[in-house]
């Protein structure tokens, strides 16, 4: 178990890559003394993750924020409820919708309806093998 609190990106990288808790702990210690570096930059410089892995984790984090914004806009959750769920998500690494339902902050149907709306708004790309809405990378 990590003694240093880490963010969603770190949790996602732990869950979906070869990154170890010890490596993340070391990177967070470096970040504490050099706050101008982002955690992803530190992990990349140590070659503990690849650029693709970091990109995937950042895309998942971005997707979570988009879902949260839509739930706020639709009046499904409040700002405080969303903040609580994002904090929980940073600890568990679970998908935001799962966290919101598990915390009893919204229903499965509300998540499905919002995700269906979101899917209608953007094309899909695959992140960690999961199809999510979002812009396709160019090139």
Q: What φ, ψ does residue 41 adopt, rounded to 5°? A: -65, -40
pLDDT at residue 24 greater than cutoff 60: yes
pLDDT (tens digit, 9 = 90+) per residue, 93-125? Answer: 888 999 999 999 999 999 999 888 776 665 445
Q: Where are the domains of the chain?
A: 8-51, 53-126
In this predicted structure, what is the pLDDT of residue 121?
62
């Amino acid at each position: 178990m990590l003694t240093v609190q880490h963010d969603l990106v770190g949790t996602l990288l732990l869950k979906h890559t070869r990154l170890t808790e010890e490596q993340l702990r070391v990177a967070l210690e470096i970040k504490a003394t050099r706050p101008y570096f982002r955690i992803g930059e530190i992990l990349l410089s140590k070659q503990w993750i690849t650029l693709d892995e970091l990109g995937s984790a950042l895309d998942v984090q971005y997707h979570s924020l988009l879902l949260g914004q839509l739930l706020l806009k639709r009046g499904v959750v409040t700002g405080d409820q969303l903040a609580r769920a994002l904090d929980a998500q940073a600890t568990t690494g679970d998908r935001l919708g799962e966290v919101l339902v598990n915390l009893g902050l919204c229903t499965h149907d509300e998540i499905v309806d919002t995700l269906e709306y979101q899917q209608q708004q953007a094309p899909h790309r695959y992140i960690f093998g999961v199809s999510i809405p979002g812009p396709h990378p160019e090139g």
